[in-house]
Structures are given as C-alpha cells and as structure tokens.
Amino acid sequence: MKAFTIICIISIIFCTKNFEKAKEIAKYVNSLNTTWKASEIPFDTDGYLGTFLERREKIIPTKKKFSVSLGDLPTSYDLREAYPNCESLKEIRDQSKCGSCWAFGAAETMSDRICIKSGQKLQTRISPQHLVTCCSVCGFGCQGGWPEMAFFSWWWSGIPTGGLYGDTKTCKPYFLPPCEDHPHNCTDYVDTPSCENSCQESYNKTVEEDLTYGEFVYTVSSEEDIMKEIYESGSVEGAFEVYEDFEEYKSGIYQYTTGSLLGGHAIKIIGWGEENGVKYWLIANSWGENWGENGYFRIIRGTNECGIEDAAYAGNPKLNEEKIRRIE
C-alpha cells in the first residue's frame, strides 16, 4: 500500500511538472507571433522518439536522376488529392508508447507506393509490427531503429502485410492499441515483442506467401530532390530532430523556437505548400488523429529545419501483375 501511494505521489508530481513546463513553453511560443501555435496540454514524447538520425552505413544508394525538373513542380502538392483512391494516404496510425516511428514511417511509405504504382488498385498495408519485431538489422524494435535499414529489409528479405491494432485481414497487425483510445497503455515503456514467424490465425496465408518486396530502394536529400521524388513516385519517409517545443505543437508551420534536443523522429512526407510566403512540408505523424492538425503537421521547407532535408527514404515496389489484372 505504501509503495502504491509513493508511486501515485511521484506520478502527480511528474504530471504537474509536465503541465507547468508545457504552459511555460506554450506561452513563450505563442508570444513570438511565429508561424505556429503551441498547446498548453503536454504531449510527452518520452518513449516515442526511436529514430537513429546518424546513418548506420550507406547501405542503399542516393537517387540523383529524376524524370521531372524543378520547373515542373507546382507551388503546392498533396498526394491525398493526387491519388484520392489510395486509402493509406489518408490514414493516420498510432504507434503508441513504443519507439517504432522509424518502422511506421517506412511501412506507411511502402503502402502508399504500392497503391500508387498499381494505379490506385492495391490497398496493401505493410506491417510495422514485422519490422519492429523481426528485422534484426533495423535496430532495437521499440528502443529505436534506422529508417534506411527498414527499406533495405524490404528489398533484401521482404515484409508481410499488417494493419492497425485488431485488424483481422492482414498477416501481422500492430500489437498495441492506439494511445488516444487506451491511455493506460501509454504511461510506461513497452518492451519489444518476440518475432513471430507466422501470420495471425484469422489470415489464411503463411508469412512467406504474404511477403512484399522493394524492387529497388534509395535515399534522396535536399529540398529540390525530395519534392521531385514525391511528385514523381509518392510519399517518402523523413526524419528530423525533435526539441522540447515540438511536444507542444498544435497547428501552423513548425520551426524551432526553444528547448533542448530530445531525440530523433521519423515521419511520412506527403507533399508541400506555401502559406503567407512561408514554404512548408506536409507531414503525416504516427501519434493518432487527436495530435496536431488531425494527426498531421507542417514544418518549414527549404532551410533544412531540424535536419528534415538531410535524407529521406523511399523505394519502388515489386508488384504482382497477375493480382492487379484480376482486380481489373
């Protein structure tokens, strides 16, 4: 009983400090008349930031040739509008209290690429669960990983399908429920589950039968090349440095204002635009629909804000052409 009381007291003190810090940061950001607004309600990123920003090795090549030129690109572009029948492009996932952002950004990008390349016919969902639990070269599961290695794994060994928590129509759905639906699951660190070499019972395929592959995978860097890649082929996985003020992001075009570096975070970039003369990237996060701008956020484009333009990751999927013809 005493131990429980002590834990409760510590939790109250910790939450009080979080709220006070959040209010302090929000008050400062909102006083600057900058390009974004902060919320006084704290979002604790502890346990969420699992992306290693340093490249482990240059395992996959850098793409340098594109079929479009900078002059071909519009002022604003949104893949959700360009490919309205690709359901994955409109989906915000929730990684819950696991540092699996590196796997989510990769799996979401791969899912989008499959739909786009199939002419918006295939609505495949690639499994972040498999990357987190079974990709030994990718990193340490919920304790972090390299986006580059997730794409290498897609090319080298393949990745099965996997939807949201509770999904019964894919091989390996995510093992954690959304934080916003089950907040008690988001108070503690989550251990990485062991790798399962089989699909869930409700899915009538083996993992080997369900694998999808990248035909070739690569990185792109710089504002111009990332824009060309998105316009030419689809979404990309990006990564950036997260500082304390980003925890309080509510709306607008984020740029760093205050606070210490907390870690690296991976996301999915789905377009770009310009607002009141300020250029931005349009980004899907993996913290649920109640965070930010309905699960999305924008960040300043063209200045390599927080390293967002250092590198992005993508690939061209292999498609089962016979399967596509059957859909037609």
Question: How far apart are alpha carbons 103 and 91 in whole angstroms?
Answer: 15
Within 8 A by CB and 6+ apart from 216, the residues are 155, 315, 316
For residue 286, which of 49, 5, 121 has the smallest C-alpha distance? 49
- Token pair for residue 35? 């390009």
* Cβ-contact 321, 118 below 8 angstroms: no
3-state secondary structure of 258: coil
Known active-site residue 134: no
Question: How far apart are alpha carbons 266 and 105 in whole angstroms?
Answer: 6
* Cβ-contact 134, 127 below 8 angstroms: no
Catalytic residue among 86, 98, 101, 134: 101
Known active-site residue 285: yes
Question: How far apart are alpha carbons 306 and 326 in whole angstroms?
Answer: 45
Known active-site residue 18: no
Catalytic residue among 98, 134, 265, 306: 265
Q: Indicate if the alpha-carbon torsion angle 288, 290, 292, 296 is positive or negative.
A: positive
Catalytic residue among 86, 135, 171, 285: 285
Question: How far apart are alpha carbons 300 and 254 in whole angstroms?
Answer: 6
Instruction: Name the β-bridge partners of 265.
Output: 240
* Cβ-contact 270, 298 below 8 angstroms: no
Residue type, 316: N
Q: Which of the residues are catalytic?
A: 101, 265, 285
